[in-house]
Amino acid sequence: MTDVVPQDIVDAQGRIAGRVHRTPLLSSATLDRALGHRIVFKAENLQRIGAFKLRGAMNTLLRLREEGSLPAEVCAFSSGNHAQAVAYAARELGVKATIFIPKQASAIKIAATRACGAEVVVTETRQIAEASVAGLIDTGAAFIHPYDNPYVIAGQGTACLEALQAGVEADAVFAPCGGGGLMSGTFLATRLARPEAKVFATEPLIANDAAQTLRTGEIVRLSDTPMTVADGVRTLSVSPRTLHYLKQLDGLYEIAEDEILYWTQWLTHLLKSVIEPTSAMNMAGVVRWLKTQDQPRTVLVILSGGNIAPETQMQIWTRDYLQRFPSL
């Protein structure tokens, strides 16, 4: 197992510079007043393809090219943003991409992946999508794992590194935990650029394989795709590589669906930006942590993405959560 070290995030940043957006930092004076703390959002929803995932895919493909081992074809499985990320990065570098997407994925994500020039194979289940890559690897295609890959992890960490380099004096950093790629990179970037800051993960309560894994010490694998509204973290399990970093976090908050919806409405309203439930989920963890603090804190939140299917929008806006103002 290749370990990832903080310097890998710096190398990734140099490698992908100019190929990914340096996304802005957002904040809301209304929110800060309501909570009595400062919350700074790294807006990866405004990243190319609408999510941080491009950072890891781009770093991995560029690293393969550096090594002289980038084949004529790459492949991946994904029901979401990683699909578009690999498709986009492959087109940029002039190689073919084949992406296996389970049919449960939203039509808009399938269309967007095809629009990036990838060949998309729609499979019956997530398990079949995962299994399908094996055949392609046999023909020489490079498989880009969505999180269990050191260069993917290093790439994802550049979002947090950029924010800390921009001068965010974070006392704590929050990011969502699916397979743990973003979380691992975020942890490493924080240790490098702001070692005194705490690092927390958030995870949906109904998809809490990482929390169960941390409690038992053994990787817990969900048997079926959990139907949380936070569709960016519907992964079935973390990997030994990401678990190594997850164990070093200052905490992991498990968030109920209701809280995810509450914060999706409020962040959308306050930031006037399209925020995936997976990203908004962090705020429920932030509030729980801030309740334990006795002085004003600065919190950095990694807004992972902004790709939302119409049916998910319907789910988000079914109830009116804007009636209840945010508070600690």
User: Which residues contact a second copy (rule: CB under 8 A)?
Assistant: 30, 45-46, 50, 107-108, 111, 115, 265, 268-269, 272-274, 306, 309-311, 313-314, 316-323, 325
Nearest C-alpha neighbor of 86 from the set 53, 47, 134, 115: 53
Q: How far is the CB of 310 from a second copy (least distance, A)?
A: 4
Q: Which is nearer to a second copy, 220 or 322 (CB)?
A: 322
d(Cα 230, Cα 280) in Å, to the nearest integer? 9
Q: Which residues, 6+ apart, have CB-to-CB distance to 14 below 8 Å?
A: none
Q: Which is nearer to a second copy, 247 or 324 (CB)?
A: 324
d(Cα 152, Cα 142) in Å, to the nearest integer? 13
Q: Which is nearer to a second copy, 80 or 180 (CB)?
A: 80
Q: How far is the CB of 323 from a second copy (least distance, A)?
A: 6
d(Cα 158, Cα 11) in Å, to the nearest integer? 9
Q: How far is the CB of 108 from a second copy (least distance, A)?
A: 5
d(Cα 256, Cα 321) in Å, to the nearest integer? 14
Q: Which is nearer to a second copy, 294 or 320 (CB)?
A: 320
Q: How far is the CB of 306 from a second copy (least distance, A)?
A: 4
Dihedral sign for Cα atoms in the order 99, 100, 101, 107: positive
Q: Which is nearer to a second copy, 226 or 305 (CB)?
A: 305
Nearest C-alpha neighbor of 164 from the set 300, 5, 290: 300
Q: Which is nearer to a second copy, 268 or 282 (CB)?
A: 268
DSSP 54-102: HHHHHHHHHHHHHTT---SEEEEE-SSHHHHHHHHHHHHHT-EEEEEEE
d(Cα 306, Cα 52) in Å, to the nearest integer? 10
Sheet holding 96-102, edge to edge: 119-123, 96-102, 73-77, 142-143
Q: Which is nearer to a second copy, 115 or 328 (CB)?
A: 115
d(Cα 253, Cα 98) in Å, to the nearest integer? 35
Q: How far is the CB of 322 from a second copy (least distance, A)?
A: 5
Structure-token pair, residue 115: 């629009």
First CA to last CA across the chain, in angstroms? 42
Q: Which helix (H) or strand (E) holds 298?
A: strand 298-303
d(Cα 212, Cα 124) in Å, to the nearest integer? 28
Q: How far is the CB of 254 from a second copy (least distance, A)?
A: 26
Q: How far is the CB of 259 from a second copy (least distance, A)?
A: 16
Q: Which is nearer to a second copy, 33 or 215 (CB)?
A: 33
Q: Which is nearer to a second copy, 143 or 317 (CB)?
A: 317
Q: How far is the CB of 255 from a second copy (least distance, A)?
A: 20
Q: How far is the CB of 70 from a second copy (least distance, A)?
A: 25
Q: Which residues, 6+ apart, have CB-to-CB distance to 295 below 8 Å?
A: none
